[in-house]
Amino acid sequence: MSKKEEAKKDEVKKLEEFEKNLQRLEELSSELEKGNISLADAVEKFEEAVKCFRLCQKLLSEAEERVELLLKDVEGNIVGSEPFEIGGEE
């Protein structure tokens, strides 16, 4: 398998991992919002939700870096777009 094919396979895997964790995060959020679970279960679900959130955040950050790299010209300036901004950073 060529490096390009391996990279493509890795990207597909990361996208699937992101989607899976985002879906699980939504499920956990919904369960926690209902509030009909014990405190111990709520804490356990919250911990899992934080792990899913952090993984999604990491994968999004990697995607952002890749997109910005693809948009840079030879001098390193972003072409045709403003750099991504994360909420609260100005």
Alpha carbon distance 31, 40 (integer Å): 13
Give me the average pLDDT of each 10-residue run along the chain (90 residues): 86 93 97 95 97 97 88 76 58
In CATH, which of 3.30.1120, 2.60.40, 1.10.3470, 1.10.287 is domain 3-71?
Answer: 1.10.287
What pLDDT does residue 86 have?
Answer: 67
CB 63 within 8 A of CB 71: no
What was the pLDDT predicted at 27?
Answer: 97
* Predicted local distance difference test score (pLDDT) of residue 25: 97
The residue type of 8 is K
Three-class DSSP category at 17: helix
Model confidence pTM above 0.85: no
- In the chain, where are the structural domains located? 3-71
pLDDT at residue 18, rounded to an integer: 96
pLDDT at 90: 47
Give the pLDDT confidence score for residue 73 in this predicted structure.
77
